Amino acid sequence: MNAFIVVCVLGLLLSSLAAAADPFIPTSGWTIYLEGVRAAPWPSCPYRFLSYPAPACNEANLWDGAGIDQDFTLESVPGATALTFYLKASCGQYLSYPGPCDQHEVNMWPYAGINQEFTFVPTGSGNPGEYFIVAQGRASCPYHYMSFPVPCSTDAPDLVNLWYAAGPEQTWRVYPASYPAPAARSPVAGSCADVFTWPSPNQDKYYLSCTGGDIAFQTADDISESTVFANKGSQLGGSPPAWCSNGNRWAPETYQLPNAPNISVMVVADLQSDGSHRIGYVYSHKGAGPQHWTEYSPNYLTLSPGTQGDIDPHIFLDPTTNKTYLIWKSDDNRIGIQTTRIWAQELIIHNDHIDQVGTPQVIMDSTGLWWATGFNGEWSTLVEGPEMIYRDGYYFLLFAGGQYCGWNYGEGAARATSIFGPYEKMGTPLLWAPIAGTYQGTQLRGPGHATFVNDRAGQLFIIFPAHTDDDQCNRLPFIGKIHFVNNWPRFDVPFG
């Protein structure tokens, strides 16, 4: 790749995103992790994160996780081209390489100079955060691309060196680990987990609900940086049947029937006597208002097979076919399974009841998501809270991943050209703690189980619960914007 092409690619990338802060463009002052995009997925190929073993901090290799010994702070190089940096480790050393062209190792060095300059070159794959990394101080040498081996060790770190060409074994993925985050703003007073937002039929109002009890019901006049929702009471009224009488209700979502402005249906999971949650529905025929949802399904829906239960329901209207689908998570982690699954089934939504069409199908599971750490062992992963949007020929499955009160909980994305998949997972989280912002001076943690809603102009917003204390886990909702690059969603830097 010659210098002219590199400069053009960098210029186009930066100019196209000048109006939005993109977390996957390396920026001076930010701290990042670097993952080698290896042919075998995690965890079958666990050693993939650029690392500097402590306490010596004198070599570079690949480790099986991302933490304090894998983060690098980007320092600008005076007079250098765009995306050229020194990479400073937390131990104070700099990622480095030798000057002589016949030496190819990558190691650490105590000072920043010509042999510590690295340039990030977009791979052109279109995948978020993927770069070739050039040893800029020896760019005239044939071997100048930072590289990792094709065989993948499963019991020891792999070494890193320089190679003469850019290809799959020279592809690195950037993850922000920290940056000078502005304060995030909550549009809701008080805690609100598993938040969901939807517009009124003519979009003159926006509604918001939260997990728990009779389901909090809140309203706002618009969706924007300054939106404030007002609490109007609760959604549920009437006399719940047995399936919905426990009150331990999770992740309610409301679907407005097209061409029926006074009819909407809520889907919600409640706790059953066997310890599982099950999903049923509740209608309102009086429009949106406090305690308007009073007409309950007689029983919960029969969905995924097994004893684990079903949670986190979402109704999606496919604009290409006008068919509706229920999308949900089977609660696999509840019974000790190491991966969790997202399902879909077609529905026919009538004015007073719902019919299920066909059989439920798994459309995605949690395999390969190293950042979405589950509850059931070292290699367990967890996805939940599915939402779906359709855009430019793709079905985007947006989901939460990880342990919901943990630091690592975040929001991910996958895409497919068919609603039933197969889904390609975005290699990086869409949103996680390092880029979520701060609240009252403290870094937000666990930003996941989000809702996505367009304003009247078509701008897509995300409202996501997050917290500042793992032990208390008092989740408040925060608001931000989403934009798309190369048909993948990006989270904008939080509003100050």
Per-residue pLDDT tens digits for 368-384: 999 999 999 989 999 99
Other CB atoms within a 10 A radius of the CB of residue 175 amount to 23
**pLDDT score at 9:** 40
Mean pLDDT score, 129-136: 97
Question: For the chain, what is the largest distance between any 2 Cα atoms, rounded to a whole number of angstroms?
Answer: 79
- Residue 5: half-sphere exposure toward Cβ, Cα within 13 Å: 6
Among 149, 178, 207, the domain boundary falls at: 178
Identify whether 43 is preceded by a cis peptide bond (ω within 30 of 0): yes
Per-residue pLDDT tens digits for 422-477: 999 999 999 999 999 999 999 999 999 999 999 999 999 999 999 998 788 999 99
What's the CA gap between 462 and 448, in Å, rounded?
A: 10
**pLDDT score at 81:** 87
**pLDDT score at 493:** 67
The answer to which of 17-31, 80-94, 253-267, 343-357 has the lowest mean pLDDT is 17-31
Residue 471 CB burial class (10 angstroms; 0-12, 13-18, ≥19) = exposed
Residue 205 has pLDDT above 90, yes or no: yes
Does 184 reside within a domain?
Answer: no
Q: Annotate 286-301 with three-state secondary structure.
A: CCCCCCCECEECCCCC
Do 296 and 425 fall within a single domain?
Answer: yes
**What is the pLDDT of the chain when averaged over all its residues?**
93
Do 171 and 208 fall within a single domain?
Answer: no
Which tokens is 300 given? 């919960």
Q: Residue holding tokens 């081996």?
A: 149
- Residue 164: half-sphere exposure toward Cβ, Cα within 13 Å: 5
54 Cβ neighbours under 8 A, 6+ residues apart: 69, 91
Do 200 and 174 fall within a single domain?
Answer: no
Confidence of residue 185 (pLDDT cuts 50, 70, 90): confident
**pLDDT score at 54:** 84
Per-residue pLDDT tens digits for 456-468: 999 999 999 999 9
Q: Kindly list the strands in the beta sheet with 264-271, ordered across the sheet, starting from the edge strand earlier in the chain.
A: 250-256, 264-271, 277-284, 295-296
**pLDDT score at 472:** 83
**pLDDT score at 469:** 86
Per-residue pLDDT tens digits for 276-287: 999 999 999 999
Does 185 reside within a domain?
Answer: no
Does 496 reside within a domain?
Answer: no
Q: What is the DSSP letter of 238?
A: S
Confidence of residue 154 (pLDDT cuts 50, 70, 90): confident
What's the CA gap between 481 and 262, in Å, rounded?
A: 30
Confidence of residue 408 (pLDDT cuts 50, 70, 90): confident
What's the CA gap between 442 and 85, in Å, rounded?
A: 28
CA dihedral of residues 309, 313, 318, 322 (deg, nearest 10): 90
**pLDDT score at 21:** 65
Residue 11 has pLDDT above 50, yes or no: no
* 3-class DSSP assignment, residue 168: helix
Q: Are 37 and 427 in contact (CB under 8 A)?
A: yes
User: What's the domain count of the chain?
Assistant: 2
Q: Residue holding tokens 């000790």?
A: 336
Do 309 and 174 fall within a single domain?
Answer: no
Q: What is the percent of the chain with per-residue pLDDT over 90, rounded to a whole number?
A: 86
What's the CA gap between 327 and 385, in Å, rounded?
A: 9
Residue 15 has pLDDT above 80, yes or no: no
Q: Annotate 7-48 with three-state secondary structure.
A: HHHHHHHHHHCCCCCCCCCCCCCCEEEEEECCCCCCCCCCCC
Which residue range is the domain that position 41 belongs to? 3-178
* 3-class DSSP assignment, residue 158: strand
Residue 306 has pLDDT above 90, yes or no: yes
Residue 7 has pLDDT above 50, yes or no: no
Per-residue pLDDT tens digits for 45-87: 999 999 998 888 999 999 999 999 999 999 999 999 889 999 9
Residue 491 has pLDDT above 60, yes or no: yes
**pLDDT score at 314:** 98
**pLDDT score at 5:** 37
Q: What is the CATH number of the domain that holds 158?
A: 2.80.10.50
Q: What is the CATH number of the domain that holds 221?
A: 2.115.10.20
**Which one, of 253, 235, 234, lies nearest residue 311 by Cα?**
253
Do 123 and 231 fall within a single domain?
Answer: no
Which tokens is 174 given? 């950037």
Other CB atoms within a 10 A radius of the CB of residue 141 amount to 18
Q: Phi and psi at residue 380, in whole multiples of 5°?
A: -75, 150
284 Cβ neighbours under 8 A, 6+ residues apart: 262, 263, 264, 265, 266, 292, 293, 294, 295
Do 357 and 292 fall within a single domain?
Answer: yes
Does 189 reside within a domain?
Answer: no
Residue 20 has pLDDT above 70, yes or no: no
Give one word for 46, left, alpha or beta, with left for phi > 0 and alpha for psi -120 to 50.
Answer: alpha
Do 374 and 407 fall within a single domain?
Answer: yes
Which tokens is 382 given? 């967890």
Does 293 reside within a domain?
Answer: yes
Mean pLDDT score, 120-129: 95
Does 309 reside within a domain?
Answer: yes
Do 218 and 174 fall within a single domain?
Answer: no
**pLDDT score at 181:** 77
